[in-house]
Amino acid sequence: MARGERRRRGAPADGPRTTERAVRGGPARRGGEARGSAWRAALGVVVLSLALGLSGCWLLAWHRARRAVTLHSAPPALPPDSSSPAVAPDLFWGTYRPHVYFGMKTRSPKPLLTGLMWAQQGATPGTPKLRHTCEQGDGVGPYGWEFHDGLSFGRQHIQDGALRLTTEFVKRPGGQHGGDWSWRVTVEPQTSGTSTLPLVSLFFYVVTDGKEVLVPEVGAKGQLKFISGHSSELGDFRFTLMAPTNPGDTAPKYSSYNVFWSSNPGLPLLTEMVKSRLNSWFQHRPPGASPERYLGLPGSLKWEDKGSSGQGQGQGQFLIQQVTLKVPFSVELVFESGSARARGSQPWEQLAGSLLTRALESHADTFREHFEKTFQLKGKGLSPEEQALGQAALSGLLGGIGYFYGQGLVLADMGVEGSEQKVDPALFPPVPLFTAVPSRSFFPRGFLWDEGFHQLVVQRWDPRITREVLGHWLGLLNADGWIGREQVLGDEARARVPPEFLVQRAAHANPPTLLLPIAHMLESGDPADFAFLHRAFPRLRAWFSWLYKSQAGPVPLSYRWRGRDPALPTLLNPKTLPSGLDDYPRASHPSASERHLDLRCWVALGARVLVRLAEQLGEAEAAAELGPLAASLEAEESLDELHWAPELGVFADFGNHTRAVQLKPRPPQGLVRVVGRPHPRLQYVDALGYVSLFPMLLRLLDPNSSRLGPLLDVLADSRHLWSPFGLRSLAASSPFYGQRNSEHDPPYWRGAVWLNVNYLALGALYHYGHLEGPHQARAAKLHSELRANVVGNVWRQYQATGFLWEQYSDRDGRGMGCRPFQGWTSLVLLAMAEDY
């Protein structure tokens, strides 16, 4: 754009010079015709230059926009059809709907879905509260998985007021379509000895996308005998809802039944559809007891086709059975695959009743044994209660794994930061994503920088799941090597995201934390890991190449996060969302002169991992390309030159900065940023906190480094980063500590304790505590003390609330932010196991 502007300014300047030559008797004296020809020729050159310039700009913009939504051409990291029942039958079915309290689906672009809703009848006036999707403010909780192996088995407890629900599932392999599975849902009073037992309705449902065939058969009193079905992926199958019993008993318990069958209104609308149909009163009449009224669904199996409103059979079917009875009780739902039932010569037995009980207990025992073998918490002397926390941390993470499919919205990188060129977001190609999620209630979708931390835990438990997850994330690469930092795929995910966060910008990066589990794979010695890395290497290389080239800083070996917020008058410090640290203070006045320390460290780590990987795989050309970059970034002299701030005594960002900024009330605008003196200038940014520690956190410093001691000093100082509950994200001595970023934006990374960075700190302290050097003893001591603080506080808060939290207060240790947050807070398990 700038070069084109200079050309346009230069061309007309020839006109006056030509006129001047004509007056002085130069070549233009040939007469009016000659002068006219010269003018026409000059004008033609100008028009042609403009046309070529404009068309070139347009073609470049079109090319960039197209590449942004074109999948990368490298071979996939996973084998073809890796999610199909033929290739991975044991992973085909799963609790891959983390945003609902309980539900299962297939790993398929067009899945068969099942789910559970419930309501306590008569607890409140009017329509009972219908529970379905995990919400922050619905009053349910605590809830979470006690056990979940990520594969075949899980047990979850949910507290809802006076009720305690236990949801369990187990899978049984067999056949060619993913095998059988069974649920057990138990509802009991929260406290024993309750005089008035509540009346509760459970709603079991099945949803199809239009290609599966469902044939329900209803018996007496609205009870479904079973649902038969068929699809190309599942073959023949059958659902059977067993008669409710008292917990631990086999005798049926009196129940009332209602059923509803319609076209699928769209997955985000299921809850509202059921609420709208709970509009008729029915009588629950157990023999020998007084009847009670309850709100139920229409009482007969009558198809309601919404085709007239554009929601017809093409969108599939929604079939739901309501079961109403007095607590306590248990209900079982059995799914049977036709190909599994027909297998072999062994007698077939339905996975229900006592057989289901034995299967659940057997899997629970196997889980406990595998857990202790993997993490050795009992062997390390941790209490049974602490071991239970570790099991819940792992299980909540595994139970939060989802399978998503859809198209994201992408805004292309036009190549000129701050360009006024208007480009509309475009749809990315349809892609699948198998991933854990940070929070079932608040962030039930994939986040790139979270996922690397998630997989550090998962790969210790089941490396195969980690390979599947990493392979799916690498499948999201666009033609340039970019991966969107937040993946909003499918209607259910999109319905829970504010519109302003739907669009991902192809110029914005995210910390490459997927390289953390990749680095662990390099040490595993597992042939399956090595085979995966061999397939994944071209994509890993393309991703890293895009990162270090697209985020290059103003001077060699410096890097800058693209995508900082503009300096709006309402923001104390413009946020840097691509960094993952959001409102962590950066230079007060964003500019292209910034050098971001954390990003440089991530690139240094990435170069180190990619070079090691290339050498192990025999990729000589890649090792030769990345080796010099890795060596330069490893050199402490260049890190010192760009980021050591002598006046601060620590590493720091660099940019156009002043401390003299604050938010002040200015009616009617509200809080407005006021900049005082000294005025901003290019300098190191005095924001002591997590960013300052990154050279140590990622173990980039030599154990004999003269910079390690000062970092340990600020880490261990309670005036700065040390707290009884973990390391603060921002020093208590910082002017930004605990400060709002705007009137409506409370502090986030400005003092609170975060588990992911505390885990990195623990790993670094453990690392330096085991290497000979002047700081070895101190690092080991700080590791022991920090581990006790972090683990102890997470355990106390879990005991008090039943939740793992997004962050923890550095003042009193209480859980803050969203919950449950069994994403990277599950790293507490690795801290307990001292596995870094």
Q: Give buried/exposed letters for 500-528 (b at 16+ CB in 10 A, else e).
A: eeebbbbbbbbbbbbbbbbbbbeeeeeee
* Helix (H) / strand (E) containing 270: helix 270-277
Hey, what's the torsion of the CAs at 638, 641, 647, 649, to 10 degrees? Answer: 10
> Which candidate in 90, 292, 582, 713 is catalytic?
582
Q: Which residue among 149, 486, 806, 810 is the active-site one?
A: 806
Measured at the CA of 576, the angle between CA 570 and CA 577, to 5 degrees, comes to 105
List strands edge to edge, sheet with 213-218.
143-148, 153-160, 163-172, 180-189, 329-337, 235-241, 224-231, 213-218
Question: Two tokens at 210?
Answer: 């239009």
E runs forming strands in 652-722: 654-657, 661-666, 670-675, 681-684
Look at phi and psi of residue 706 and say left if phi exceeds 0, alpha if psi is from -120 to 50, else beta. alpha
Rounded Cα gap, residues 223 and 728, in angstroms? 57
Report how far residue 124's alpha carbon sits from residue 201's, in angstroms, rounded to the nearest whole number: 14
Q: Nearest to residue 262, comparing CAs of 309, 324, 331?
A: 309
Cα angle, residue 92 at apex, residues 88 and 98 outer, rounded to 5°: 135
Backbone torsions φ then ψ of 689, nearest 5 degrees: 175, -150
CA 606 to chain centre: 21
Task: Say how far apart CA 722 and CA 713 lie, in whole Å.
Answer: 10
How many Cβ atoms from other residues are within 10 Å of residue 346's Cβ? 7
Q: Quote the CA–CA distance of 146 and 24 in Å, as a whole number.
A: 95
Coil, helix or strand at residue 830: helix
Tell me phi and psi for residue 145, to 5 degrees. Answer: -85, 125
The reply to whether 582 belongs to the active site is yes
Q: How far is the C-alpha of 725 from the C-alpha of 809, rounded, in Å? A: 8
Q: Is the dihedral of CA 363, 365, 369, 375 positive or negative?
A: positive
3-state DSSP assignment of residue 454: helix
Query: Beta 256-263 vs 235-241: how paired, if at all?
Result: unpaired
Which residue, 197, 225, 171, 156, is CA-closest to 290? 197
Q: Residue 310 corresponds to which amino acid?
A: G
Cβ neighbors of 348 (< 8 A, separation 6 or more) are 341
Retrieve residue 792's tokens.
């102890």
Q: Please give the Cα distance from 111 to 405 (Å, whole number).
A: 10
Q: Strand, helix or coil at 242?
A: coil
Our answer to whether residue 772 is catalytic in this structure is no
C-alpha R_g of the chain: 31
Helices (H), 24-101: 32-68
727 in Cβ contact with 738 (< 8 Å): no
Between CA 183 and CA 190, with CA 187 as vertex, the angle to 5 degrees is: 140
Give φ, ψ of 411 to 5 degrees: -105, 120
Q: What span, in angstroms and rounded, lies between the C-alpha atoms of 725 and 83?
A: 41
d(CA 269, CA 271): 6
β partners of residue 118: 131, 202
Residues known to be catalytic: 582, 806
